[in-house]
Chain A
């Protein structure tokens, strides 16, 4: 008699465990499903990439040092359409430069990543060597202060690892970084009328 009862109890025990297990399984499925449903409304059809807004950028120099990549995935991008082709380029020459030649002592760029080419009197073309550019933004500051602002810092999407948490974005003092749709991955600025049709 006692044994029978024990046997019954054991059966009951198993039943209770299975019941709890199934119950929890179902609630986990419901929970995960609910979470998916809630989050799925916020999913985008495409991917997102990090980019900095040159209008917010203060050229503090952290793009060069904060990126997880060495050298940084942020480079100076030259928007030729905006360039004035100045002889005295604020992005190329140090402010105290006296003679406008390509001497190293005259160059603003710490890695000599800007190439100055004579086009015709008095115009010069400036080209960025992205292999050398470290994204420090010194030339961007110079060009923005004295020139047209045709030199702009941008995340080079072919170099960017697209980290989940962009460490430059975290350190950016002006909050210039944001995730933007991968379909239009650049935020270059052009003039009002001559809006650049490149992004």
Chain B
């Protein structure tokens, strides 16, 4: 009888242990006789919040100063030194985080994920450069973005690659932006941060693969000016479009172009539009026909893109950890010959029923299916738009910066022999 009670108590105790495996006081805290005082657990605080405000202040100040340097002072030298400062502050001191490029994902996530709370500083980092660009052109790229500054510093012998290749490679940022938004909206991953090549340099710490990527970009950056900005940067897509409608954009000459052609090859980013004065009515007719064809074909491009996107949505969704987990449970043979993965162990330990995971994954897959359609349609529209854009010839008499692709670095300004007094522009 006694034995029975003892066993029951033991069994109950054992069961209790099984229920709460975490933080059980198996050994009570001793009462010390030697006067020992329990030390306090130190909990160092994170970076002070006032410093986050400082970041925003520095951002706004740097934007204002660089805009003034580009548009009012028209001084490449000053822009250069501001970009060195930005590289030091936002790059090496802040180690590339918080940045406007990555902020795209936070904003997207705040839009799509109700439980995510976006710090207001990140929202400012996203919005301020866009607003400045709408008024003054891409001065953010000229001297505030640490990525741009780093690449600008190392562009040693920039070569031109021609407008056609520029246009083709220029599609990549649109795809990158689309993917980044898709993955942020589904709460899967922040791919812009994950594949950020320069953050490893700022921190002098990265995986081998990322160092390799950064090395390739920097080496090519010696001969191809700003490869990341031109052919990868997803924030550049937004800035490009906003800058096209900017109110006061950098002009090469402060007053009147004297057609000296000194600035013709000054732009390492191939963003200077040459004068087009000869009108050819025959060519115009053919161009209009081609243009109309592309415009009419654009919906077809979008459908084709969307169809492709929706068909690869499962591959796209595989980036998501939950989707991978469900796949692992459903098809365990795919990774045969290996012992149980850490993920599987953790999933089993969590005690979550597989059905719950499947339901969640079904939802995620549906999101990716819709997202795949939108992403594909967006890419199709981009390709159609770029093709149509290539056919538009705008007649101009002077050398002008292309408002979309110009980084407002003010290199061309130095080449212009026209200097009027203070060199100010009409604002």
Residues on A close to B: CB < 8 A?
21, 24-25, 28-29, 32, 35-36, 38-40, 42-49, 54-56, 58, 60, 62, 68-70, 77-86, 119-120, 123, 125, 127, 144, 146-149, 156-158, 160-165, 167, 170, 173-174, 179, 182, 185-186, 188-191, 196, 198-199
Contacts and interface: CB of A to CB of B under 8 A. Distances in A.
Given A25-B247, A68-B205, A163-B97, A85 B30 contact: yes
9 contacts: A28-B134, A70-B205, A84-B28, A84-B29, A85-B27, A164-B102, A173-B341, A191-B23, A198-B43
Given A43-B118, A81-B38, A60 B345 contact: yes
B253 interface: no
A161 to B, nearest CB: 6
Contacts of B165: none
Contacts of A190: 23
Interface in B150-204: 189-190, 193-194, 199, 203
B421 interface: no
A123 B32 contact: yes
B277 interface: no
B189 A165 contact: yes
Nearest to B108: A39
B125 to A, nearest CB: 10
A82 B25 contact: yes
B343 A36 contact: no
Nearest to B194: A165
B241 to A, nearest CB: 8
A144 B24 CA distance: 8
A10 to B, nearest CB: 11
Nearest to A120: B34
Contacts of B5: none
B29 A120 contact: no
Contacts of A85: 27, 29-30
Contacts of B46: 47, 49, 157-158, 160, 162, 182, 185
B415 interface: no
A198 B118 CA distance: 26
Interface in B37-93: 38-41, 43-47, 49, 52
Given A43-B120, A46-B49, A49-B46, A60 B346 contact: yes
Contact of B110 (A42, A127, A165, A186): A42
Contacts of A158: 44-46
A32 B203 CA distance: 32
B41 A79 contact: yes
Given A157-B47, A161-B97, 12 more contacts: A35-B107, A42-B110, A47-B52, A77-B41, A81-B29, A120-B33, A127-B39, A179-B117, A182-B49, A185-B45, A185-B46, A198-B41
B339 interface: no
Most buried by A among B105, B119, B242: B119
Nearest to B122: A164
Interface in B100-135: 102-103, 105-107, 110-111, 114, 116-123, 127, 130-131, 134
Contacts of B336: none
Contacts of B111: 35, 38-39
A158 B203 CA distance: 16
B203 A161 contact: yes
Contacts of B117: 42-44, 48, 179
Nearest to A154: B43
A81 B30 CA distance: 10
Nearest to A119: B36
Contact of B29 (A35, A83, A160): A83
Nearest to B343: A173
B97 A84 contact: no
B245 interface: yes
Contact of B123 (A43, A56, A167): A43
A55 B38 contact: no
B21 interface: yes
B342 A78 contact: no
Nearest to B244: A24
B345 A173 contact: yes
A174 B350 contact: yes
A84 to B, nearest CB: 3
Q: Which 3 A-B pairs have the closest CB atoms?
A: A84-B27, A165-B190, A157-B46
